[in-house]
Amino acid sequence: MKLKFIIGVAFALSNGMLFGQSSVRLERPDEKLTISRHIYGHFAEHLGRCIYDGFYVGEKNDSIPHKNGVRTDVIEALKKLNIPNLRWPGGCFADTYHWKDGVGPKTQRPSMVNSWWGGVTEDNTFGTHDFLNMCELLGAEPYLAGNVGSGEVQELTDWVQYVNFAGKSPMSDWRRKNGRDEPWKVKFWGVGNEAWGCGGNMTADYYTDIYRKYATFMSDWTNGGGLYRIASGANSADYNWTETLMKKIPNSLMKGMGLHHYAVINWNKKGSAVNYSEEEYFKTMKSAWFMNELVEKNITIMDKYDPKGNVDLIVDEWGGWYEVEPGTNPGFLYQQNTMRDAMIAGMTLNIFNNHARRVKMANLAQAVNVLQAVVLTEGKKMILTPTYHVMEMYKVHQDAKLIPITLQSTDFELNNEKIPAVSVSASQDADGRTHISLVNIDPKKKNKVRVDLASLKASKVSGRILTSDNLRDYNSFKMPAKIAPAVYKDAKLLNGAVEVDIPAFSVIVLEII
C-alpha cells in the first residue's frame, strides 16, 4: 500500500480566525485491496452494564421492548452501523468464563463471581445460545474468545464442537437438546485474551507453546473447519511479543494476531471523561495517534516473518479510557462520551483504513455502557454517542477499495509537543463512489484542506459533518441529540480538486460521484 505522511506547518489569518492549511493527494484505487468491514467491529464483555442491563434485560421484562431478553432498540441501533462482528465474552472475563455453565435450562445454571469487574455475582442467564442468536439478529459474525487462562484444551474443543458440528456427537447432541438443531458455524475464535496480563501473566515463549497446543486440537490438522484462529497479541508497544509469536507459531495454526492499545493519559490517573483540560486532551490524542506507530511497527515485524501476508493484524481492543462517572461502580467502567471520543474514533479508523493490507479486524471497546461505548442505556432510555455517529458516517468504507493517499498536515501543538492535526482516509465503493473521511483534532483552529483528486473523475461532491459548539459536549439522557451528523455544504469542487474547511474538532465524510 502506498501511504505517505508529511508534517508541515502553515498558518494564516482569515476573518480574525487562526487556521491551518493542509493538502491531500488521492492515488488510483487499489484494485486488489479492500478495507475489510471487520475493521468496524465491536466488543461486548461481561463487564458492568454491557451485557446485563445493556444488551440483555431478561425474557420476563415487560417494560422494555425485547426479543428473547435482548433490547430491540440496541439491536436496531447497531444494525444501522452495519455491525460486522461482535467479540464476546471478554476481555479479562473470557479467561474465567466456563461456557458449559451458560447453556441448558436457565434455572439450573450455576452462578459465578465476576472477580475482574466489580466482584458481582452473575447467574449465567446470558450464555452461548443467547449471544449467538443475538448475533443472528444483528446480522453480525460472532467472535468467541476462548478460556485459556483458567480453562483446559478439552473445554475449548468442546465449545467448537458444540457450536459448529452438524453431525452426531456428544456436544452437538447436547446443543440439540438445548433447543438448537443447526450449528451456528462460528468462524472467529480468540485463543485466550491478554495472555501477558489478566489471561495468565505468561511470557511470550510460554504462551506460544500454549497457543500451539490449543490451536492444534481446535480442528483437524488441515483446519478443515475453516476456523479463523486469533492469537492473543501484544500489549501496546511490546514488539518482542509480536516477534516471538510470528517467529514460533506456524502460519497454518494462526490466521490473526491481536493487538490492544487504549488512548490513556495515565493508568493511575486517567482523568475525567467530561471535565478535561487542554493538556489532558492533547495527551489523549497523542496516545490515540500512537496507534499509527504501533500498527506500522507490528506490520514490519509481520512482514519479516510472513512476507506473503497470511497472518492478519487484529486490533481487538481499542478506544479511550478515563475515570468512571462520579457515583458509579468503579468496576463497571461507565464513562461519558464527548467530542474528544469522536476525534479518537475518526483518527483511529483512518489509521486502520490506511493500513488495510494487514489490519483486517478491529473491535472498539465497548458496545454498550462500558468505556468508549456507542450506545448508553438508562432504564427504558437509550442514547447514541458521538462515537456511534462517527462509525455510522464511516460505514461507507466497509469492503470498499482502498484509495492510497499522500497527506501533508499542519500540526496540533502544545507545550513544544506536536502531532498531526488532520487525518484522512479514502475509498471507492462498488458503485464507483469515492468517500473521503477527514478529521481535524485541533481544538481551536479550523483547517483548510485541498484534496487533489488526481485521475479520479468527479462531477458532484456532498458531505456530512459531526461537530459541536464545545469540545466537551456530549449527548445526555436529557439532551440525547445534542451532537448528531449534519449536512455539510461547504466542500468546493474545482480544477480536479476538492477544497474543504474543517472546523476545529470536527469529522467530515465526503462523497464524490
Which residues are known to be catalytic?
Answer: 194, 317
Q: Please, are residues 210 and 253 in contact by the beta-carbon 8 Å criterion?
A: no
Beta bridge partners of 26: 405
Q: Which three three-digit cell numbers place residue 40?
A: 468496524
How does DSSP assign 91-144, residue by residue?
Answer: SGGGGG--GGGGSS-GGGPPPEEETTTTTEEE---S-HHHHHHHHHHHT-EEEE
Tell me the C-alpha distance between 443 and 474, whole Å. Answer: 15
Q: Give the distance, in angstroms, between the CA of residue 327 and the centroid of all CA atoms in the same chain.
A: 27
In sequence order, the 6+-apart residues with CB closer than 8 A to the CB of 264 are 270, 284, 287, 320, 321
In sequence order, the 6+-apart residues with CB closer than 8 A to the CB of 209 are none
The full 3-state SS of 292-342, as one line of letters, equals HHHHHHHHHHHHHHCCCCCCEEEEEEEEECCCCCCCCCHHHCCCCCEHHHH
If 0-12 CB within 10 Å is exposed, 13-18 middle and 19+ buried, where does residue 265 land? Answer: buried
Tell me the C-alpha distance between 350 and 427, whole Å. Answer: 11
| Kind of pairing between the strands at 375-378 and 381-384 | antiparallel
Tell me the C-alpha distance between 463 and 7, whole Å. Answer: 26
In sequence order, the 6+-apart residues with CB closer than 8 A to the CB of 469 are none
Q: Which three three-digit cell numbers place residue 132?
A: 449467538
- CA distance to 36, 102, 165, 196, 293, per residue, from 151 (Å): 32, 15, 21, 16, 34
DSSP three-state, residue 171:
helix
DSSP 223: -
